[in-house]
Amino acid sequence: MDELAIDGGPKAAEALSIPEWPQPTDTSRAYLLEAFEGGNWCRGPWIERLEDEFAAYHDAKHAIAVSNGTVAIELALRAVGVEPGDEVIVPSYSFIASASVVPAVGAIPRFADTDPETFNIDPDSVREQITDDTVGIIGVHFAGYPIDMDELLPIVEEHDLFLIEDAAHAQGSEWRGQKVGTFGDFGTFSFQESKSLPSGEGGIVVTDNDVLAERARVMQNIGRSQGETGYRHYKLSSNSRMSAFQAAVAIGQLEKLPEENDRREANEKLLLAELEEIDGIHTKPRDDRITARGYCLENVRYDAEAFGGLSRDRFIEAVRAEGVPVYDGYEVPIYKQPAFFRDQVRRLLPPGTDVPDYWNLHLPGAERLCRENVAYSHPVLLADDEGIRTIPAAIRKVKAHADELRER
């Protein structure tokens, strides 16, 4: 039996060659230079081109480019008309922006639990959180794995709620042949450098609703009407515009995204076929309703008992030593973040608002994922076939040595 790499032995995943990310391609470099020399650094043809091309790629009628994925969600909330004191149901296991934007606009987050099988918002928990003050839902297509829209949309319709799809991870994902981001009132995307479509920072909002699109464009541009550049402002709003440089880089990255997603999807199938055979490694369910995948990261759940009681953190340490860059993801649910202490949230809400006691909230699905999640980023799925096969080999090697790792 090979000695563990953590003890100085050979790495099981020595052949796993992962491309650097983000990739400074010649196309993005050329577009960036064109934007620099073109003189329209703030607004103009590069922004319009990105909006047109991304809308076409995601089968949306409208796209509004913004400065980052967080303000994309905030812009969507303001455009759908969220008012101070409203309640919005948010996910419990995600990046904090999926929930922190709600008090930022004066509304109250109500956390729904997470389905540990899919890492997405749990529709049954959503139903439990609805009150007379609930106006909408923010749902995340976590890691690019789409929410079960067959379950969520009837809830939205039954209670006349808005739906914002946080698709920061999901550029290219589809549910029943329809691109995500187009089921709800708005879809929001991030182009932060870790994403599969990176522009350093940046994001975009999509919608099929003409009225909401116009409202979002006005609010994105300091209250100016579309096409106006002077000093007449029709709404009190901030500036969330994207720069031409971000747009130019994003366009170059968008051109290669479909081919990369195809490669990731093929490698994911190859990898999952082997991971599913390892007792104690739980992969997400295969779902024929997911007709295309976008990617930001991938997740499995780790069962310590099947590894003889070896802790998740020690398992991650050993697998990383074998050459597979796994990590633990979010350490706590969003509602356990210090930013959601009552005094922090209360100062953003109308005086006298009853703020939930987030610190003492317990949602078992989200908390289970914080203990069991093992993640790796999407560039891993761009490795070659030989490299992909070394990942389960590394896990099997660690499992074979689990007893000695646990006893140390």
CB 137 within 8 A of CB 88: yes
The answer to whether 95 is a known catalytic residue is yes
Sequence-distant (≥ 6) Cβ neighbours of residue 339 within 8 angstroms: 96, 100
Selecting among 11, 58, 141, 169, the annotated active-site residue is: 169
Q: What span, in angstroms and rounded, lies between the C-alpha atoms of 193 and 29?
A: 15
CB 191 within 8 A of CB 203: yes
Selecting among 113, 115, 148, 166, the annotated active-site residue is: 166
Q: Any idea which residue has 């979010």 for tokens? A: 330
Name the nearest CA neighbour of 309 among 396, 399, 406, 408.
Answer: 406
Dig out the tokens for 82 from the structure. 């969220």
The answer to whether 142 is a known catalytic residue is no
Selecting among 54, 95, 186, 315, the annotated active-site residue is: 95
Sequence-distant (≥ 6) Cβ neighbours of residue 280 within 8 angstroms: 302, 303, 304, 305, 306, 307, 399
Selecting among 58, 141, 241, 314, the annotated active-site residue is: 241
CB 404 within 8 A of CB 353: no
SS (H, E, C) 85-151: CCEEEEECCCCCHHHHHHHHCCCEEEEECECCCCCCECHHHHHHHCCCCEEEEEEECHHHCCCCHHH
Residue 11 phi/psi, 5-degree rounding, is -75, 130
Sequence-distant (≥ 6) Cβ neighbours of residue 31 within 8 angstroms: 46, 248, 249, 251, 252
Query: Rg of the chain over CA atoms, in angstroms?
Result: 22
Task: Tell me the residue type at 383.
Answer: A
Selecting among 11, 195, 312, 314, the annotated active-site residue is: 195
Selecting among 215, 224, 312, 399, the annotated active-site residue is: 224
Selecting among 129, 171, 192, 246, the annotated active-site residue is: 192
CB atoms within 10 A of CB 244: 26
The answer to whether 192 is a known catalytic residue is yes
The answer to whether 162 is a known catalytic residue is no
The answer to whether 169 is a known catalytic residue is yes
Q: What span, in angstroms and rounded, lies between the C-alpha atoms of 120 and 106?
A: 25
The answer to whether 224 is a known catalytic residue is yes
Active site residues: 95, 166, 169, 192, 195, 224, 231, 241
